[in-house]
Structure 1
């Protein structure tokens, strides 16, 4: 008997990472016009941002269907196995509902967790689930524990551009123009399963300071739990700058080469654009 894990690609866990972690990853679909790609498989993160820069309209992402989940459950479950399924926030996609519908045929075997998050926030919840499994916890108890502990997960991101918020209809063209002229950098966070703007700063330095301030208001990073940093786009330069300006928070882990750095994929990258930096952690 084994406890196994299924996760959607909104976690930004890459296909090879999923193999290394021993989990099953289901790709969402990303569409640029009439062209559709399996997230992370037919279109990796670098290719996604290259296409995003050339696109006149934002790409669309489609939820994973109940049939896709059901087929995955069938292929993953062996005799006596149990399954923990972790999805992106149910307020951001119908993927959670699809996973729940498919789980109805596997009562007592499949337990679905709505991460109330996405990208890095979802990733560290998956990593926490794997830790609990290594401790010998059963799938039902892992799911119940994650449902409690996820309330302490914080995902905060500093955006480099307003362009994609404008394209997505979240701000007006006028606001975007004025903001760009003033070098306004919005800060967004996932709260109650939704992406919300929680602040704004003028310039990258003030933005980094605001990011640090917001992390402090959460009680700081609990380094005994999974945490992660990430950047969107094809360059990590802004994230490197952020880390350099916050060495007192991360220096020990940089020296130990333990700082977990990843890339933000299509699900959130569509709306924040390139140049964003993000931090996900369990608060103290």
Structure 2
């Protein structure tokens, strides 16, 4: 039976054209205007609006009804499906998918416990398993077993957006800006956590590199690199400084790079760089 992989726009992968892949858009609201993420709001336009706006946008989850509509299509096509959602600790989207799937035994729901490219590599892994001919139940089981191995690490250019979103005290954010503090963050148990702080961009890139080395990258599994904002410049600088991680395994031009969308971009702001990979066992 054909398998469809369903996710939400909280994920980010470079090529979303696979016909077996369906992504439900999350809502992004600036002021009085609500956009469907990835449908009528591109990542570039999102960052333009984010920089121009005095207030952070609000994000809204995919609804059970939206999932039901997709599940009806799955059933009508004689397919089965695996749903991989944005972390349940960050959004109610997982609960929406679970609620909708109650009447669809052919649909299997997995809490990705991650976001953006961390969620993205789980989707790529699921598509790989589908290529191998596995059924939806087995794909869901293997993806769920791999969730704990996913490492999402990011170097932020500024504390401003964490401060504006209330995720750190204003006083900490202000002092951090004055001292040019570059925070390194990650996802742990489905939530964004601070892993370290460095003064200046070079020290920040070094600290990010140390975190990557701490876990080790399993290059037999999907890997993604991401950036926020309108330029890959800082990510390219990181790759140049830390070429030893990749050069014996993959050519730099073959590394998959993608723009990080609104779900995480809202909270970290532009000019952040991120890596997602499966840690070595």
Q: How many residue pairs align between the two structures?
A: 280
Which of the residues 241, 256, 259 maps onto 1:260? 256
Q: 1:175 to 1:256 in 2, by over 3 A?
A: closer
| Structure 1 residues 74-120: Cα deviation after superposition (integer angstroms, max 9, x where no partner) | 1233454210011000110000000011101102x000010000000
Q: TM-score, normalised by structure 2?
A: 0.96
Q: Secondary structure at the match of 2:102?
A: helix
**Which residue of the partner structure matches residue 11 of structure 1?**
11
Deviation of 1:134 (Å): 1.2
Find the aligned partners of 1:21 and 1:10 in 2 and give their Cα distance. 19
Q: Secondary structure at the match of 1:241?
A: helix
| Structure 1 residues 55-92: Cα deviation after superposition (integer angstroms, max 9, x where no partner) | 11100110000000000111233454210011000110
**Which residue of the partner structure matches residue 74 of structure 1?**
72
Which of the residues 252, 255, 271 maps onto 2:267? 271
Deviation of 1:12 (Å): 2.3
Deviation of 1:5 (Å): 0.9
Find the aligned partners of 2:225 and 2:267 in 1 and give their Cα distance. 18
Q: 1:201 to 1:38 in 2, by over 3 A?
A: same
Which of the residues 196, 204, 208 maps onto 1:199? 196
Find the aligned partners of 2:148 and 2:267 in 1 and give their Cα distance. 24
Q: Secondary structure at the match of 1:275?
A: coil
| Structure 1 residues 234-259: Cα deviation after superposition (integer angstroms, max 9, x where no partner) | 01111010000011112356636320
Tell whether the 8 Å contact from 1:164 to 1:271 is kept in structure 2 after alignment: yes
Q: Secondary structure at the match of 1:18?
A: coil
Matched, 1:242 2:238: yes
Find the aligned partners of 1:256 and 1:37 in 2 and give their Cα distance. 35
Q: 1:140 to 1:223 in 2, by over 3 A?
A: same
Deviation of 1:172 (Å): 2.5
**Which residue of the partner structure matches residue 227 of structure 1?**
223
Deviates more, 1:171-180 or 1:236-245: 171-180
Q: TM-score, normalised by structure 1?
A: 0.95
| Structure 1 residues 196-235: Cα deviation after superposition (integer angstroms, max 9, x where no partner) | 11111111111111111111111x1111000100100001
Aligned 1:114-263 pairs, distance under 5 A: 114-218=111-215, 220-252=216-248, 255=251, 257-263=253-259
Matched, 1:51 2:54: no
Q: 1:78 to 1:2 in 2, by over 3 A?
A: farther
Q: 1:25 to 1:82 in 2, by over 3 A?
A: same
Find the aligned partners of 2:247 and 2:5 in 1 and give their Cα distance. 32
Tell whether the 8 Å contact from 1:12 to 1:263 is kept in structure 2 after alignment: yes
Q: Over aligned residues, Cα RMSD in angstroms?
A: 1.4
**Which residue of the partner structure matches residue 27 of structure 2?**
29
Deviation of 1:13 (Å): 4.0
| Structure 1 residues 176-202: Cα deviation after superposition (integer angstroms, max 9, x where no partner) | 221112110011100000011111111
